[in-house]
C-alpha cells in the first residue's frame, strides 16, 4: 500500500539546521509531486513547500523562503526538507504528502505521512 514515513525530527537550537527525510513506497514516486505540510502542536495545518515530480519546480510559503529547501532523490524514493536558520516558530510536526489532482497542479494531499516533530528551543 502507499506509505510515507518521515524521519529526522528532533530538538534543535534557534539558528541551527535540520534535514528531514520522507521515504515513499507503494506508488510511483518519480511520477508524483510531493509536499511538506506542518502543524504546530495543538494548532492547524500550514502548507510549507512543493516539489514537482522531476524536481523542475519548487514553491514555498513566504515564511520559509530562503531558509528551507525541498529536494528529492527519485532513485531512492525519498523526499527531503533542509531547514536552515531555524526559528522557535518553526516548531511543528512536519508531514510529507503526495500531491494529487484530477486536473491542474497536484496540490491536494493524499496520502500523508504520520509526521516527524521538530522542536526549536534554546
Residues that bind other proteins (CB under 8 A): 35, 44-47, 50, 59, 61-62, 95, 100-102, 104-105, 107-115
Comparing CB distances to other proteins, the nearer of 55 and 111 is: 111
Q: How many CA atoms lie within 13 A of 80 on its CB side?
A: 13
Return the SS3 of 114: coil
Comparing CB distances to other proteins, the nearer of 46 and 84 is: 46
Least CB distance from residue 112 to other proteins, whole Å? Answer: 4
Comparing CB distances to other proteins, the nearer of 54 and 110 is: 110
Least CB distance from residue 16 to other proteins, whole Å? Answer: 25
Q: What is d(CA 120, CA 88) in angstroms, rounded to the nearest whole number? A: 5
- Which residues lie closer than 8 Å to 49 by C-beta, 6 or more apart? 35, 36, 58, 59, 60, 61, 64, 68, 70, 81
Least CB distance from residue 82 to other proteins, whole Å? Answer: 19
Amino acid at each position: 500500500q502507499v506509505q510515507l514515513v518521515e524521519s529526522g525530527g528532533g530538538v534543535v537550537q534557534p539558528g541551527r539546521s535540520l534535514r528531514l527525510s520522507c521515504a515513499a513506497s507503494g506508488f510511483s514516486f518519480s511520477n508524483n509531486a510531493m509536499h511538506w505540510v506542518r502543524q504546530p502542536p495543538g494548532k492547524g495545518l500550514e502548507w510549507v513547500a512543493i516539489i514537482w515530480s522531476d524536481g523542475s519546480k519548487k514553491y514555498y510559503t513566504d515564511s520559509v523562503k530562503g531558509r528551507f529547501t525541498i529536494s528529492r532523490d527519485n532513485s531512492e524514493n525519498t523526499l527531503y526538507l533542509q531547514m536552515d536558520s531555524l526559528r522557535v516558530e518553526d516548531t511543528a510536526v512536519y508531514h510529507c504528502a503526495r500531491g494529487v489532482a484530477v486536473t491542474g497542479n497536484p496540490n491536494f494531499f493524499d496520502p500523508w505521512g504520520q509526521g516527524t516533530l521538530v522542536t526549536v528551543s534554546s
